[in-house]
With several copies, the nearest count.
Chain A
Amino acid sequence: MELKMIKNIEPREFEKYELNRDRLLRLYRKMLEIRRFEEKVEELFLVKGILSGPSHLYLGQEAIAVGVLSALKDEALMVTTYRCHGHALAKGIDMNLLMAELFGKSTGTCKGLGGSMHASIYPEKGSIYATAIVGSGIPIAVGLAYSLKHQGKDNLVVCFFGDGAVNTGAFHEGLNLAALWKVPLLLVCENNLYAMGTKVERALSSKSIADRAASYNIESFVVDGNDILSVYIATKKAEKLIKEGITPVFLECRTYRMKGHGVYDKAEYRPKGEVEEWLKRDPLILFEEKLISLNYINKDELKRMDEEVKREVEGSVIFAMNSPILDFEELKNHVYG
């Protein structure tokens, strides 16, 4: 099959997609929040040694979470993975709660019981689930989407996962079921070219991920995941197809991890040239340039925004530090309900 590559749009089309200066600046700001948040997390691990355990940063992929989630309605339900800080913020979860969860504090999204890999779980904001097991969120998202369809709700589920997930049995069984059941499900594969140290083509036998997805009779598109507008537009198109057909749609967003797999990974397995090339396509810089070229914002305003965001991030650290840890005796109350 021929793969559909979704392209960027011209400013004259902005309105058609509910975009305008204000909206775009808010998208930018959300990306910046993720960027600064993750940089702080990295510092808390590596420089300050305050945080520990596994943590998977979203640096470099910000355009995907923000592009997808801002294009969808707030009530869209989300299922994601251990690399979930970006999705959490883009879904509107309070940064304080997210940071507190990373600190294992009782004020965190999961009361400190989930930790970094589940920190986005926050049903209050439609963030239903985050799994640390590669691929396992997909069948769950299919069932969640079935529940929407069954109850006749005008809503959809968005499910994020990585390129590595495509090779799991859960992916296969999940996509097959999604296609058979025709559920309102947006499958977003963040193809950052690596699963830990494994380059995507070393683990994937098909021509492309979108190609594999298409073999389930699911409409599949390839998107430049570092270009927020492409992601946004693709999501809008996908949403339309999903609603019209009550059917799943698949987006393969091509992107790149700025850092290692986990916070401690130095990612030495990646060729230097490759890293450099991709860093030039930093989604924040690309978007910044666009906004400046459109005269929507200037360097000074950007700087002020950045300072604001950094203060917000600092605030979240203080919030987290000052929060208590759950009492051990309370744990048993959360096993059964």
Chain B
Amino acid sequence: MGDVMELTYAEALREALREEMIRDERVIILGEEVGVFGGAYKVTRGLLEEFGSKRVIDTPISEIAIVGSAIGMALGGLKPVAEIMYMDFLTICLDQLITQASKARFMSGGKLKVPMVVRTQYSLGRIHGSQHSQFFPSWFLQAPGLYLALPSNPKDAKGLLKASIRENNPILFVECGVLYRSKGEVPNEEYLTPLGKAEIRRKGEDITIVAFSRCVNEALKASEELSKEGIEAEVIDPKTLIPLDKETILSSIKKTGRLLIVSDDIKLGGIGAEISSMVVEEAFDYLDAPIIRIGAPFIPVPFSQKLEQEYMPNADKIVREVKRLW
């Protein structure tokens, strides 16, 4: 056995949950189908058997009560990890997540803390149609008090989830459904992936590509393609949107002078909008070209697989857009 093992993204998440549950008795899992069923995507499989029904709690279909009771648990000294099966279902419980959890600390004058993780996943790319494929990370930029993690690979999935569970603030942890079965190397040793620390996944001098979640892989694929044409892209994975590691992004841009942002959310008002504007504010003079954003079009997600594939950002689109700058 070497220093690393191959795990799927789902397995890596499960390992994170297991390790933290072993380490800290206060960690509790709750949500729909997290117990007997093992999680809709099997992330929590086996945890009920290992930790019992006091710590792995199946709930009714009650998203309001899932997040609400998690807040109460956190206020009562536990460390809940609540699962909301699809990101779409957050539209049911945002009162609890945003109007309650994220503001509790502030409006109590700093007295309350709500150390909870809400895990969810977005299913774009899995032929789930309009109501099960939504991805709207940028909303949470308007929710001070909340952190937001977007792991792009098994290693970060594990490290970020462990770090999130140890946090003192509420965290929305958005997994990527299409990545659950993708494999990657994960260290055997215990490790934490810090929130707010971006990683340069590929070095390059010609253009900075900031990519989130699944799109990190697309950006890396595109970079290989571009490299063949002599364009060397630097690919940055911020890993968390809140907090955002502006420094890593800005210093890369100061080197490359060009920026492309790619993520699976709708381009209009998406993650890219904030990053683009931030860069214009803080590094305008370093920009040699317009910033490019790649996201989904302003259209609900179509069901048909072929149309859904056309709808999504991908390596080809990145290559095409980058080349337009040369």
Contact = CB atoms under 8 A, between A and B. Distances in A.
Direct contact of A and B (CB under 8 A): yes
Interface of A: 52-54, 77, 79, 104-105, 108-118, 121-124, 128-129, 131-136, 138-148, 150-151, 157, 164-165, 167-170, 173-174, 176-177, 180-181, 195-198, 202-204, 269, 325-326, 328, 331-337
B96 interface: yes
B146 to A, nearest CB: 9
A328 B99 CA distance: 22
B239 interface: no
Contact of A139 (B40, B69, B297, B310): B69
B58 interface: yes
Contacts of B69: 139-140, 142-143, 146, 174, 177
Contacts, number: 261
Interface of B: 28, 32-33, 36-37, 40, 54, 57-65, 67-78, 80, 88-89, 92, 95-96, 99-100, 104-113, 126-132, 144-145, 147, 168-169, 297-300, 302-307, 310-311
B129 A132 contact: yes
Given A52-B305, A141-B72, A135 B297 contact: no
Contacts of A112: 109, 302-304, 307
A197 B36 contact: yes
A334 B109 contact: yes
B64 to A, nearest CB: 5
A300 B113 CA distance: 47
10 cross-chain pairs, A with B, having the tightest CB-CB distances, nearest first: A143-B72, A139-B68, A147-B76, A104-B304, A115-B303, A111-B109, A53-B127, A143-B69, A197-B37, A173-B65
B129 A174 contact: no
A115 B73 contact: no
Contacts of B58: 197-198, 202-203
A271 to B, nearest CB: 12
B111 A123 contact: yes
A181 B68 CA distance: 14
A258 to B, nearest CB: 18
Contacts of A197: 33, 36-37, 58
B89 A337 contact: no
19 contacts: A112-B302, A113-B304, A116-B129, A118-B107, A118-B130, A129-B75, A136-B68, A136-B96, A142-B65, A143-B69, A144-B76, A176-B62, A197-B33, A326-B302, A326-B304, A328-B307, A328-B311, A331-B106, A335-B299
Nearest to B67: A139
A314 to B, nearest CB: 22
A23 B169 CA distance: 42
A139 B71 CA distance: 8
Contacts of B99: 133, 136
A151 B306 CA distance: 42
A57 B310 CA distance: 28
Contacts of B75: 128-129, 140, 143-144, 147
